[in-house]
Amino acid sequence: MDNFLKLLESFNRKERFFLVGEALGNPNFQLSDDFRFRLGCRDVFGIVPPKDALVFMDYHLDWLHASLFLSHPGNDENGVHDNSDGIATGTQEDVDLLIAFPFNDNIRIFLIEAKAATGWNNSQLISKARKLTNIFGECPNNKFPGIIPQFCLMS
C-alpha cells in the first residue's frame, strides 16, 4: 500500500499545485490544524488526517485510477495495459482536493468537491459519482481492498 501513496505523488504534476504551495509558503501542501480537525468531525469524515497527510488539488481521477491499478502486484509501471473497461478516459475530470494517509492498516482517501461562487450541477455530480463507482466499484465491494475512499461536497 505504501507504493500506492508514492504513485499518487508521482502523478501529481499540476503547475498550479506547485505554484500555490510556493506562493503560500507551504510547498508540502500541509493542511492547517483547523481544517484537519474540521474534517475529523463526525458529520464530515470522522477521522482527523495526520499533519503529514498527502494533499493534492485538482487531482485527475484518471491519475487516481492509474495509481490504484499500478499499486497492485503484477501491474508493472513500465508495461502497456489494457483499458477495455474504459475507466481511463483521458479527460480533465478531477476532484478539487484529495487527501491520502495510512490509517489503521488501511489507506484513507478523502475526496472533496468544492464550490464557492457557482452552484452545484447535478450532471457534474452524477458524472463524478459514476467515475468514482467505475474506479472503486459498488459499495461496499471496493475493488481495492485496504484503500477506503470517502467523498464529500464543500461550499
Is the CB of residue 94 less than 8 Å from the CB of residue 57? Answer: no
CA–CA gap between residue 72 and residue 85 (Å, rounded) = 17
CA-derived radius of gyration, the chain = 15
* Model confidence, pTM: 0.91
Cα dist from 77 to 21, 42, 69, 71, 90, whole Å: 28, 38, 9, 9, 18
**Predicted confidence (pLDDT) per residue in 87-126, tens digit:** 888 788 999 999 999 999 999 999 999 988 888 888 988 9
What averages of pLDDT result for each successive group of 10 residues across the chain (155 residues)? 87 91 92 95 92 96 92 78 77 93 96 89 89 87 88 91
Residues 104, 107, 111: CA angle, nearest 5 degrees: 125
